[in-house]
Structure 1
Amino acid sequence: MKDLTVKQSGVRWLWLALLVFVLDIGSKLFVMDTMGYGWANRIEVLPFFNLLYVHNYGAAFSFLSDAGGWQRWFFAAIALTVSGMLAYWMRQTPASNKILNIAYALVIGGAIGNLFDRLVHGFVIDFLDFFIGKNHWPAFNLADTAICIGAGLIVLESILSSRKQAAETE
């Protein structure tokens, strides 16, 4: 891989990771300061969407939420490792590759937002509750949204890149 200067590399896109982090933490603080905890205090916004302040001690879908506490540090280590790896890849990626750099920045910002929660509170604050009828998707937050969009963009960029390479070799 070619070593690019900061100006030429995707590191220029880290402002987006900072923006995601600030919006995520700001939204969580707002929820904590203005909403009561739990299902009884939900705010019905749309026929398929509530605001619902809950704590998640695990990861996605409350994975390992009842593991006894060690998972806090396990998920913190994963967030730091993935964020460091993506920041390194951003350094190797040209700034002109917008899709990939935006994807990396979204994942980094989301991972650091949830890492902040784990380190400060011991759990992640979730508040977005989507549902169909009585079937609820697990509550999530802006950090989770950024991570999912970023991961989707990484997959999209991979598909587009492989198609471009296949077209160039024909």
Structure 2
Amino acid sequence: MSTKTRSAAAASSISTAPERRAGMLSAWRWFALAAAIVAADQVTKAIVLGRFALGERLEITGFFNMVLVYNKGAAFSFLSDAAGWQTPLLIGFAVVAVGILGTLIVRSPGRRLFCTGLALILGGALGNLIDRFRYGQVVDFLDFHAAGWHWPAFNVADSAITIGAVLLILEGFAHHEGRARAPS
């Protein structure tokens, strides 16, 4: 790198330091959203754990039950029948994902839809990660069904992850549309 390039890079990093601090301050609202998801997830799981025996079902409507089940796998019980090797793998994956999501939030605090999606995924990932550390598996309790077919049970964290992923997809389309319409 030439001296001129190094000087320009140093000047650029110096001039963006206040912007980085401002970005970090505004990123806290996204971390607060993630914390609210973790709290809602853990409180609902504590209620279910305190009131239900494993496998116990409470019919709420003709299509929705509350049921206590444990999921050793990933989303929708993927890998739940594996021999136990999946737990450290899923914990490692979640820890890396949490780091990446946090970094993306800090670097993009002004992108509201993007950061909302990231914060929902972050909160959900942390909620399920807490379960994996505490129980070696994830607590699921929301059971939707129709005509004898049951969707795999899930929880508040899973819902947040799914909604967050949908928001990221929508933001990606909106971001792509904005670039396509921008004059060149």
TM-score calculated relative to the size of structure 1: 0.92
Aligned residues: 167
Q: 1:34 to 1:48 in 2, by over 3 A?
A: same
Pair 1:20 & 2:37 matched:
yes
CA drift of 1:83 comes to 1.2
The reply to whether residue 151 of structure 1 matches residue 168 of structure 2 is: no
Superposition map of 1:74-89 within 5 A: 74-89=89-104
**Cα distance, 1:49 vs structure 2:** 0.4
- Say which one has the larger Rg: 2
Which residues of structure 2 form unaligned runs of 5+?
A: 1-15
Per-residue CA deviations over 1:22-47 (Å, capped at 9, x if unaligned) read 11011101100011210xx2111111
- Which stretches in structure 1 are left out of the alignment for 5+ residues? none
Alpha carbons of structure 1 residues 71 and 53: separation in structure 2 relative to 1, 3 Å:
same
Please say if residues 49 and 68 of structure 2, whose CA atoms lie closer than 8 Å, have aligned partners that are also in contact: yes
* CA distance in 2 between partners of 1:60 and 1:97 (Å): 27
1:48/1:132 contact within 8 Å kept: yes
Partner of residue 142, structure 1: 156
Q: RCO (CA 8 Å, sep 6+): is it higher in 1 or 2? A: 1
| Per-residue deviation, residues 13-70 of structure 1 (Å, max 9, x unmatched) | 11000000011011101100011210xx211111110001100011112111122211
2:4 matched to which residue of 1? none
Q: Which residue of 2 aligns with 1:91?
A: 106
Identity of aligned residues (%): 39
- Deviation (angstroms), 1:6: 4.3
For the residues of structure 2 that align with 1:42 and 1:118, how far apart are their CA atoms? 23
AA aligned opposite 1:68 = A
Residue aligning to 1:71: 86
2:65 alignment partner, SS class: strand
Runs (4 or more) in structure 1 with deviation over 3 Å come to none
Contact 2:23 2:107 in 1 (8 A): no
Given candidates 127, 133, 149, the residue that maps to 1:113 is: 127
Per-residue Cα deviation, 1:104-155 (whole angstroms, up to 9, x for no partner): 1100000010011011101100000001110110000000000000011000
TM-score of the two chains, using structure 2 as the length reference? 0.86
Describe the shift of the 1:6–1:75 C-alpha distance in structure 2 as closer, same or farther (beyond 3 A). farther
Structure (1/2) with the larger helix percentage: 2
